[in-house]
A and B are shown apart, each in its own frame.
Chain A
Amino acid sequence: GAGVSQSPSNKVTEKGKDVELRCDPISGHTALYWYRQSLGQGLEFLIYFQGNSAPDKSGLPSDRFSAERTGGSVSTLTIQRTQQEDSAVYLCASSLMREKLFFGSGTQLSVL
């Protein structure tokens, strides 16, 4: 597609359940980022993928969070044993190398 696509747009889950969030980056973009945005807050870096290099996981808040990027394209962010404090908008962005980021519309995650 022409832009970054994220799914689902909304996800409601129960505390303790696992969730998977998907990101389809812009075709040809080698870099992919995941950010988290809590209500009324700025963007918190989570993880960065660049080509076939090892991902930069320095922003992941706990070992319940993991992400993978298959074939250098689609990425999945997985949150295990969700907690209420995980509730936020999860944003994916892609870019060419270290150029400007283009964002998807995000996944609104609500943990009850």
Chain B
Amino acid sequence: GQQLNQSPQSMFIQEGEDVSMNCTSSSIFNTWLWYKQDPGEGPVLLIALYKAGELTSNGRLTAQFGITRKDSFLNISASIPSDVGIYFCAGQANTGNQFYFGTGTSLTVIP
């Protein structure tokens, strides 16, 4: 199946710092999604991207659909304690039905 490489695997940052994480795929995707998962909960959708080069913001979060269509980035500005959780990227190719998920980035924010 598709391989989605997500990095970094974990991050420990001070409150107020900016965060950046990314995903790369072995093939072209038509849709990129970014999710956040809290312990004991299902992933919650943060941002959806549908076009190469698209840059979309949701509050302090900004995500971009890479020009090559094989990567995507998520940035969090001015982190706060409630940003703690695991962030997943997900991508979907033009053919096939499933969304492929990255292995996640665990974010810890130190007050």
- Residues of A participating in the B interface, judged by any CB pair closer than 8 Å: 4, 6, 31, 33, 35, 41-43, 45, 48, 50, 56, 58-59, 91, 93, 98-106, 108
Please determine whether B99 and A103 come into contact, CB atoms closer than 8 angstroms: no
Please determine whether B40 and A42 come into contact, CB atoms closer than 8 angstroms: no
Contacts of A108 in B (CB 8 A): 40
Please determine whether A91 and B97 come into contact, CB atoms closer than 8 angstroms: no
| Contact flag A45-B44 (CB < 8 Å), given A100-B33, A101-B90 | no
Task: A108 to B6: give the CA distance in the assembly, Å.
Answer: 25
* Contact string against A for B residues 49-77, beta-carbon threshold 8 Å, 1 for contact and 0 otherwise: 00000000000000000000000000000
Task: A110 to B2: give the CA distance in the assembly, Å.
Answer: 28
- Residues of B participating in the A interface, judged by any CB pair closer than 8 Å: 1, 4, 6, 31, 33, 35, 40-45, 48, 88, 90, 92, 96-104
A-B contact pairs, 10 of them (CB 8 A): A48-B98, A91-B43, A99-B48, A100-B45, A100-B48, A101-B33, A103-B43, A103-B44, A105-B40, A105-B41
Further 15 A-B residue pairs, CB within 8 A, beyond A42-B6, A56-B98: A4-B42, A31-B97, A33-B99, A42-B4, A45-B101, A48-B97, A58-B98, A91-B42, A98-B31, A100-B31, A100-B45, A103-B35, A104-B42, A106-B41, A108-B40
Task: A25 to B15: give the CA distance in the assembly, Å.
Answer: 37
Task: A45 to B94: give the CA distance in the assembly, Å.
Answer: 17
Partner of A42, one of B31, B45, B92, B102: B102
Task: A108 to B44: give the CA distance in the assembly, Å.
Answer: 17
| Contact flag A105-B42 (CB < 8 Å), given A42-B103, A42-B104, A98-B92 | yes
Task: A75 to B40: give the CA distance in the assembly, Å.
Answer: 21
CB nearest neighbor in B for A105: B42
Task: A106 to B6: give the CA distance in the assembly, Å.
Answer: 23
Nearest-neighbour CB distance to chain B for A16, whole angstroms, equals 27
Contacts of B48 in A (CB 8 A): 99-100
Nearest-neighbour CB distance to chain B for A4, whole angstroms, equals 7
Partner of B45, one of A33, A56, A102: A102
